[in-house]
Amino acid sequence: MESRTNLNTLAGHVLRMAGEHGLWKSNDTIVVAVSGGPDSVALLHVLHRISRLHVPLQLVCAHVHHGLRADSDGEEELVRRMAEGLGIPFESARIDVPSYMKESGKGFEEAAREKRYAFLHETARRYGAASIALGHHADDQAETVLMHLLRGSGLTGLTGMKIKRREKNVELIRPFLRIYKTDLVSVCEQEGLAYAVDSSNLSNEYRRNAIRLDVLPFLGQYNGQIRQSLVQLAEIAGGEDDFMELAADHAYRNMVRHKNGRLYFEAPSFLALHVALQRRLIKLILNYLSAGSEITDFHKIELIREPIVQNKSTTWSLDIGGGLACIREYDMIWFMHRPQEQSKSYTYELQTAVPELFIPEIGKKMKMKVQSPNDSYFSNAAGTCAEAVFDAGQLKYPLTIRSRLPGDTMKVMGLNGSKKVKDIFIDAKIPPSARSRIPVLVDGSGNIIWIPGVRRSAHAAVGAQTVSVLHMRLEDAEAVEQL
């Protein structure tokens, strides 16, 4: 800011900020949040001056009465008179923070903020406003960055508050984010603008106040420009964070695929990324699935990333929390809202071959044909299918088509002895999520003779002496074909 700060120089600074960041367009309606403190009072007067002399803007003054201090009534009246004097519509709301704290289980600062922003958004909706202007300044930014730093935030947290950020179809704009509070107080005093002093700001009971009153002055003993340094850190981190977001978005578009509401990528492609991009990509996927609830938990992201990188196991499943899960199936890493539910158990007994059997539990149908070895088989079908032929004369009825059971084994063609069906799936690299949709075919002696699409047993093999063949095919229930 210029050394001689007044309303004109402040308006000039805000106009440059607005041009640089596209804070508004001509004839926009802007809801201005005014608490009555010097920062919001200065904001209302600056925007009013800009709307009269530079850019036509429609302003709405919005004030929240928290009802927690004796001087709250006076502050509301101060802001009301100010808005009326400037010819600006005035809106106010009284909020019951203690009741909302009990209802939501949130602390005072978070509960008050949620109720305050809900009112501002509702006011913006009623007036058709393009944005909500907030009076946060450079000192607020320094406090925010330090709070995030102490909390263990990553690069995104170190960017602090954004000058412009979209929330619920409206822009939150902070035209004063590069201006320090001393300049704002100076403008109010030079221009004779009445403002209120919030006595609660002098109590270190709240975390932000403790940062302002205790932590920053302590650090100032070692760096007299600590606030400026933190604001500069936010500027640098903001640019680099934007760059990383673009890189993560590029990786997402190139690597991540969608299938049935699930997201997945190939592990080798992920391993080729820099560790910073690996973390960003996981974060982007989780935020996409969590429908707007931003996930920034470093430990949660590392819980997913580390087993992918270590590559120790080809299949695993992680419950991420929040109804989300991550599953590895060989080279595929899947993200979903919850692990795929296991299909219900089922058993269908056949005393003889039937033309078609629908298996609703897995969305499949089994087609059967008894024919001469020289006859043609089924025509090609759309979708996924699996086929096998058996010597009809050697088959023992009844045939049973059922879901897989623990401990199932099968005598595999070309292999001496039996093998566990679970191991057959593993050898064939059948993903765990797909195994529940594969039935087994059992003959009248209790032998598993076929796992459709995977393996068949040595039982009832077609040979030179075969007189009739049972041809079976398992296909998707929606597949259409001609026999």
> Both ends of the chain: CA-CA distance in Å?
83
Nearest to 270 by CA among 319, 318, 316, 332: 332
CA separation for the pair 109, 111 (Å, rounded): 6
Residue 40 labelled as part of a binding site: yes
3-class SS shares of the chain: helix, strand, coil, % to 5: 40, 20, 40
| HEC sequence for 169-184 | CEEEECCCCCCCHHHH
Residue 37 labelled as part of a binding site: yes
Residue 39 labelled as part of a binding site: yes
CA separation for the pair 16, 125 (Å, rounded): 27
Residue 153 labelled as part of a binding site: no
Helices then strands, each counted (H, E), the chain: 16, 22
CA separation for the pair 475, 363 (Å, rounded): 9
Please return the burial class of 259, using the count of CB atoms within 10 Å of its CB with bins 0-12, 13-18 and 19+: exposed
CA angle, 360 then 361 then 366, to 5°: 55
CA separation for the pair 2, 410 (Å, rounded): 85
Q: In which residue are the tokens 């602390």 written?
A: 107
Q: Which DSSP category does 66 fall into?
A: -
CA separation for the pair 184, 190 (Å, rounded): 10
CA separation for the pair 386, 325 (Å, rounded): 30
Cβ proximity of 115 and 103 under 8 Å? no
CA separation for the pair 196, 79 (Å, rounded): 9
**What would the DSSP string read from start to end of 219-276?**
HHTT-TTHHHHHHHHHHHHHHHHHHHHHHHHHHHHHH-EEETTEEEEEHHHHHTS-HH
Cβ proximity of 351 and 342 under 8 Å? no
Residue 433 labelled as part of a binding site: no
Residue 224 labelled as part of a binding site: no
Q: Which residues are annotated as a binding site for ATP?
A: 35-40
Q: Which residues are annotated as a binding site?
A: 35-40
